[in-house]
Structure 1
Amino acid sequence: MQTAHATTRPAAGLMLAIILVALNLRPSMAAVGPLLSAIRGEIPLSFSLASLLTMLPVMAMGLAMFFGLAISQRLGQQRTVLVSLLIIALATLARLFVDTATGLIISAVLAGIGIALIQALMPALIKSRFPDNVALCMGLYVTSIMGGAALAATFAPRITVQTASWRTGLAIWALLAVFALLVWWAQRRHLRDSVTLAAKKEVFARNGRAWLLAIFFGLGTASYTCVLAWLAPYYVEQGWSEENAGLLLGFLTAMEVISGLLVPAIANRSRDRRAILMTLLALIIAGFCGLVLSPQQLSLLWPCLLGLGIGGLFPMSLIVALDHLDDPQRAGGLTAFVQGIGYLIAGLSPMLAGLIRDRLGSFEWAWWSLTAVMALMLLMVLRFDPRHYRRHFSPAS
């Protein structure tokens, strides 16, 4: 009995540390949208330029999927997370002192590098440390990422009002990174920096199905990054206060958390995920249509639909990729490729929406564009018939 407790305690402590680390992977992006009008009041920042504050960290996530694991093998898992949290903390704290658009963008890129290294490493770390509970622990990890976005979107405007400084609203999240760093450091005895043996690399870039999965993940995540960047500014333009617009984005991300926990559990009942995917895409389409056609009426319903759709689509896109291969190492390599390409695609959406806003004077055309993208994804879902998965990938040699 004592042995079971002895092994359970370090595992619970490590999972708590992972949750705290995950909470730090979105605040540097999620805090910007609700405060954008206050930032633009002091710093000359077009919507296209402001889009870089979300776009560049997301692009860094994509690039890191291709080299992040190699870095963690060189530094070790524990040191990689410590260094990454330190980068996030310093980049976020630096926002207390920025007074130019360039300074803000540099802080976003640096935070993005820290975020990217953790995101590349963490699924492999969870798989190696919690082999019997991978689905549960991945669910907690992904939900914590969304929870961090909800915290920042909800409280950044309130902190700004209390302190009369948008810089404090952006920079205060450095404290969360420092706290996570200290808890992670306390886990060092249970985190021996074992070097994982590199598996023979499979070249997924030559596989058409791998590209279809990557584009599907990228287009779905594009709706997430665009909403994260522009939902709050859209409602500020509709006459809402920054605080209320931030609360609305916080509500949306809370819906994402709920959906991210529930949908994978529901989907486990069947290997055919198409009905679930179509339902999630229909929710997102309804949410975007509502944002354009009736933003003031039923204003809680549209973020609710978007949050439930987007929150479920993110883990389900990865689960569908994992379904294609039985071997865990090959499946891990496929999901790294899918996320790498996918985040590069998703990173473009905030910039394109910012350009649309600068040219046409409204975000409505960005929401319509995303509606069309979701409709295209409905057609892509038809190709995810589990009976045909095996023929898309040659057997492992």
Structure 2
Amino acid sequence: MLAGAIITLALNLRSAMASVGPLLDRIMATTGLDHAGVGMLTSLPVGAMGVGALLSAPLQRRAGERVYVGIGIAVIAVACAARAVAHDAAAMLITALLAGAGIALIQTMMPAFIKRIYGSRAGTMMGIYTTAIMGGAAAAAALAAPLAQVCGWSNALAIWTLPAVFACVLWFVASRQRVSPDTPHRHPVRTSNTRAPVWRRWRAWALMVFFGVGTGAYTLVLAWLPPFYTQLGWTREQAGYLLAGVTVAEVVAGFTVSVSIVRMPDRRKPLLLALGLLISGLVCLLTAPLALAPSACVLLGLGIGALFPLSLIVALDHSADPMRAGELLSFVQGGGYLIASLMPLVAGVLRDRLADLTVAWAIMLAGALALCLLCIRFSPRSYARFSSTQT
């Protein structure tokens, strides 16, 4: 039941963002937002996720995961429900920020919780958790346009309140016997005051940049792939289905990572494979986006879907201590999500200035090539060196 609750929570962590892309033209027509403004509908929640991750350490000292995860999913439910009446630009941006705050609470608490509960199986559970995140995005992207046809775009966004409420109830029931609010106080980490802060380590910054640029590819595709294809003449439904196809490929890649990661102690090979797939997908978008749309869909999905869990798992590998791993993951996700939040906004500005998204895809391609050079340094031997010098 606990694993089911974690998966159900994860399914709700992207629906508030993934359901927006296929409906951007309707949202712009109703709210008056320009392309930079609608880019903020993705940038704001991702930025909030980054800030939340950076603030998670003091939160974890005050209460346990059960309380904050429950608050997080409740906030997501409220943000989605508010979109039923959010028909102006300010209201849409506020709901985006609110959803990001809820997502941040869950994502910053969950890695340390998984590490503590699942121990040596944490890598596998992290793979399943991140796969479920992408599965929720696939469902939201595929259903956005059909739901809008039936009940209007605002209700199509608000309907994701229902699975969020269900996840909230399931979490509190399933976690009752395993987690309690005062867990951190019953199990203090006595050596925490002697440890050097993770931000003083070069490797922590490298992991943060790697996660941020890789997640930037996800946020860029999530926000702008459907509008890119509607600009090329596709319908909203077709563009939404293409984004759903990307996220289905992400689910396949994430599931593959979750079941095979235990056999790959050196994470560099799967990381380079994931980056190669992402690069190939971006090349398809730059060279022949219409003719190679199916290939771009599959390649982008497989690359992003593998890169997201792998970048978290490789950070998790750097410490066997759940508390220290949580601190590192908070730093990596915090700065990483702030980096990733810039990509949809930059793409929106470029779309307003140049009436085209080609430059945005080219910038992302350059970032992916840079990540190939960075990931070569992530050898298993370096994990041990990082862990041994943390105190």
Q: Quickly name the TM-score band, shorter chain normalised.
A: over 0.9
> Counterpart of 1:140?
128
The 5 A counterparts of 1:31-70 are 31-70=19-58
Identity percentage over the alignment?
A: 45
> Counterpart of 2:306?
312
Q: Distance in 2 between matches of 1:86 and 1:323?
A: 31
The amino acid of 2:389's aligned partner reads P
> Counterpart of 2:159?
172
Q: Are 2:180 and 1:192 equivalent residues in the alignment?
A: yes
Q: Distance in 1 between matches of 2:284 and 2:390?
A: 47
Shift of residue 189 of structure 1?
3.6
C-alpha contact (below 8 Å) 1:264/1:312 kept by paired residues: no
C-alpha contact (below 8 Å) 1:73/1:195 kept by paired residues: no
Q: Are 2:116 and 1:128 equivalent residues in the alignment?
A: yes
SS in 1 for 2:183: coil
C-alpha contact (below 8 Å) 1:96/1:170 kept by paired residues: yes
SS in 2 for 1:324: coil
The amino acid of 2:373's aligned partner reads L
C-alpha contact (below 8 Å) 1:69/1:121 kept by paired residues: no
SS in 1 for 2:345: helix
Q: Which runs of 5+ in 1 are unaligned?
A: 1-12
Structure 1 counterpart of 2:291, from 297, 306, 319: 297
Q: Which runs of 5+ in 2 are unaligned?
A: none
Q: Distance in 1 between matches of 2:267 and 2:65?
A: 33
SS in 2 for 1:300: helix
C-alpha contact (below 8 Å) 2:10/2:136 kept by paired residues: yes
C-alpha contact (below 8 Å) 1:51/1:350 kept by paired residues: yes
Q: Are 2:349 and 1:355 equivalent residues in the alignment?
A: yes
Shift of residue 89 of structure 1?
1.0
Shift of residue 179 of structure 1?
1.4
SS in 1 for 2:125: helix
The superposition leaves residues 97-116 of structure 1 with CA deviations (integer Å, 9 ceiling, x where unpaired) of 11211110000001111110
Q: Are 2:143 and 1:155 equivalent residues in the alignment?
A: yes
Q: Are 2:364 and 1:370 equivalent residues in the alignment?
A: yes
The 5 A counterparts of 1:1-397 are 13-131=1-119, 133-163=121-151, 165-187=152-174, 189-190=176-177, 191-196=179-184, 197-199=187-189, 200=192, 202-392=196-386, 395-397=389-391
Q: Distance in 1 between matches of 2:132 and 2:120?
A: 20
> Counterpart of 1:9?
none
Shift of residue 198 of structure 1?
4.9
Shift of residue 391 of structure 1?
4.2
Q: What TM-score results when the alignment is normalised by the length of structure 1?
A: 0.91
Count how many residue pairs are aligned between Structure 1 and Structure 2: 384
C-alpha contact (below 8 Å) 1:47/1:354 kept by paired residues: yes
Q: Distance in 2 between matches of 1:228 and 1:113?
A: 19
Q: Distance in 1 between matches of 2:149 and 2:249?
A: 25
C-alpha contact (below 8 Å) 1:95/1:107 kept by paired residues: yes
Shift of residue 294 of structure 1?
1.2
The amino acid of 1:192's aligned partner reads S
C-alpha contact (below 8 Å) 1:202/1:330 kept by paired residues: no
Q: Distance in 2 between matches of 1:304 and 1:359?
A: 30
SS in 2 for 1:184: helix
**Counterparts in 2 of 1:75 and 1:392: CA distance versus 1, 3 Å:** closer
| Greater Cα offset, 121-130 or 182-191 | 182-191
**Counterparts in 2 of 1:264 and 1:174: CA distance versus 1, 3 Å:** closer
Q: Distance in 2 between matches of 1:388 and 1:140?
A: 26
Q: Distance in 2 between matches of 1:60 and 1:291?
A: 29
**Counterparts in 2 of 1:381 and 1:134: CA distance versus 1, 3 Å:** closer
Q: What TM-score results when the alignment is normalised by the length of structure 2?
A: 0.92
C-alpha contact (below 8 Å) 2:230/2:236 kept by paired residues: yes
SS in 1 for 2:199: helix
Shift of residue 166 of structure 1?
0.6
